[in-house]
Amino acid sequence: MASIDNQDLSVTKHHTLYDAIDPVTTLKNSASGKVIFITGGSRGIGQATAIAFAKAGAKAVYITARSEQALKETQDLIRQTNPDTQCACSTCDVTNTAQVEAAVLDCVKKFGGIDVADANAGYLDKWAKIGESDPKSWWYTWEVHIKGVYHVIRFSMPYLIESAKRWAEKGSSGGHLILITSIGAQLLFPTASDYQASKHAINRLCEFVNVDHGQDGIKCFAIHPGGVDTELARNMPEDYYSYLTDTPELPAGFIVWLASGRADWATGRFLSANWDVEELIALKDEILRDDLLVNRLRVRANS
């Protein structure tokens, strides 16, 4: 079994919100004037991210999920956090093409565009060996993680391109696309084939977004949100619960930091919310020179 340490940067690791990514202090008003679109925004990391953008002064936050009641509860929290941040929601299954397109169009109709799209919806069923897995559940994991993420990319892309151009004219940064992946994408845990392989595919999809739309100003990141003790994460075998040591505010702040433009140079790459952002920036030249934090086949160097 691969070690997490072997797939990690040698930087300081954080497990809770800290000043450099705090939407109330360092990132205050960094989302001012921006419209944020979040799938899976009714609870856990998605909910914390919506609230963090409100704290950072977002113009509007649009959240989707399958539970209408949970969406309303999150909407109330956003309004309590910042009454100046507009908020709307709609029920949406990310695997349903028409529903995702309708949600994007509704967001644009209500708020005039999309500046940040966060594909946060995820799925994790009980793990099983491939030869003992449930085919329906195994493939549904892929539908949520790949088809669902693709839908968010596909339908938000025209508006993100518009955002990138608009903010560039103002000397600022827009057009940010956040894809929630996992450190598990880089690992081989027994019985985790559906979850970890589909998350690995998200990383590659992020690279394709950069190849296809980087010239359009799109900044796309595949991020590991840390080990957050969510209802979804509790479907892992209990042996892995010890990794669930991070608060949801950590990835939420990290996403707001990414959307501020401070890491635009790292577009198309896998990043972890646990990594200290100032130390990450210090590695910029090395990361770009050696093309790090991307999926590549390891082979022997030519002699």
Catalytic center residues: 195, 199
Give the number of C-alpha atoms closer than 13 A to the C-alpha of residue 147, restricted to the C-beta side: 14
Contact 210, 267 (CB under 8 A): yes
Instruction: Find, among 200, 255, 245, the residue nearest to 47 by Cα.
Output: 255
Instruction: Find, among 272, 135, 261, 114, the residue nearest to 203 by Cα.
Output: 272
Tally of CB atoms within 10 A around 284: 12
Helix axes 44-55, 249-259, angle to 10 degrees: 50
Dihedral sign for Cα atoms in the order 251, 256, 257, 258: positive
H-run or E-run covering 271: strand 269-272
Contact 271, 224 (CB under 8 A): yes
Contact 194, 205 (CB under 8 A): no
H-run or E-run covering 178: strand 176-180
Residues contacting 230, CB < 8 A, separation 6+: 43, 44, 45, 248
Calpha distance 46→95 (Å, rounded): 17
